[in-house]
Structure 1
Amino acid sequence: MKRVLDCRASDFRQMGREQLKGAILAAEGRTVMAETVVVSQPLLPEITNAELAKAFGADLILLNVFDVFRPEVKGIVPFNMFMPGSGEQTIANPIAEIKRLTGLPVGINLEPVDDSADAVEALAALPEGRRATARSLAKARELGCDFVCLTGNPKTGVTYAQILQAIDTAQREFGGLIIAGKMHGAGTRGSVLDREAAVAFAEAGADAVLLPAPGTVPGAREAELADIIAEVKNKDALVLAAIGTSQEGADEDTVRSIALSAKRAGADMLHIGDAGYAGMANPENIMALSVAIRGRRHTYVRMAASPLR
């Protein structure tokens, strides 16, 4: 089994669910996932945020606010600043195009919304194409998503109970790698670092359990995270530690500190969110995170590797 570190575009194209999970496990905590908002005008209008994230060291691309029934990724058709009305979205399958442009596995967030959730604030209404329903998960499979992340954006009312149900639905309808968990409250009450929920997700069949990285939500401490990770790994699931509370736009030292703390706790993957500038992390922070958890060599190889390899 190749490590993610050693995989190139031709390797990723041949990987199914189990192969991708094995490659992440074999990399021993040195896998970087970068999240981007697809409806935001990209940081650099000539390219997608996904391409920029890859160029700064990301191994996996997570697309946020992606509607499977109205698929669109800003930047695939470059924005011409001197002729702003000239570039319309004409790509039928932007997932396939992002995979072609980056040479990386690409996944999307789908949100297991609980309409009866005890909300901290008003919940945002979501179209079905962003919700974790049987139809949307089947469509994600049709589009060629390599993985799906069952989680919640702010104010969406995603609960642990609904995530658990969504894992079961994804097992039937999706077929790719399943990641499940919360990186923040998503508008509902209760602890985000929930040991019982994390273990339940692993037992239900999630390939990776998403947990907030230390220091990203109040009370998320390294020692407690390490204990939960050990229990999740006993259930044969991976752990994705997420920077999802806008610290992806902090200084590089903060990002390095969070990344190393998450790796010490046992995380298999490090996620960096989309709330820097223009729907992605500060690019320098993606690189800083990558260098911190795996050094310059592997970072530079990922940055430089052509999607034609």
Structure 2
Amino acid sequence: MSGAVQTGYAPPSGPTRPEPGWPRWLVVGTVLWALVLAALTWLSVRDDGPTVREQRTLAEAGPVVDRAIGDLAVAAGDDALVALLPATVERGCRVTPFADGATLERALTVRVAGAEPRTVLDRIADALPARYAAGVVLSREGARLRADAGDFVTVRGRQTENGALLLTADTGCRPLGSGSAPTPVTGADAEAGAADAALRALGRPAAGEPDLVAAPCPGGGVLRTARATAGPGTNPPSPAAVLAPLAAGPALVDTPEWYAYRAGPVGVQVDLTADPPTVTATTTCR
């Protein structure tokens, strides 16, 4: 028998080697570890609070903003004339490159007769609860109040062109969630009546129903503002003369641009520079 290799047959190559791959124990261990991580993640999401703003929705942050507005109103002091502004929700910001978001902001204006804006801002910063870590700094635009209401809600304050202070609390951009609708305002008869009386005294009854805004007071109760706009007409030669009989005492502000007074527990402010004039009537926290 010849030792030549027959044509068409491959020479013997020895025992067949197994294909390379992961050992069975490593595959099983990896699967188990993945299950453990998934379980821990689920427990964290269920039990732990969010740790960044992007994890809290606008709806969840709304009550924090509301409380901040009430705290600011109280910090302004009993001699301050305050007025709430309607809440605004701006959509279109980006929470992440792949997710849209929205920003909620609430605001109020503050006036203290005869006081410098910087002095009032300092007073508000000192009166806010310590958890706000509030402070006032000087910038090129003037004094600025900055504070932290918690849950990534920022508080700011500055002087406006008409001499009032504008205080805001905003959420920054975050997921919309179920949204943030203002709570319907009830029990604002005194505020609405005071605003209507001021416009009637000017000879310019309200153009429509007043806008009502409210915020919770820190110690309970509700801060309410009614905002009314004058109907067609012209202002009397001396607005102060026709508004003074409505006041419970001397005017708190009496200028050609602004007139303010108290009618019982309601603080009334008449903006005579607006066209048409606007009136705000506010009952503050006590």
- TM-score over 0.5 (shorter chain): no
Greater relative contact order, per chain length (Cα 8 Å cut-off, separation 6+):
1
Q: Which has the higher strand share?
A: 2
Q: Which has the higher helix share?
A: 1
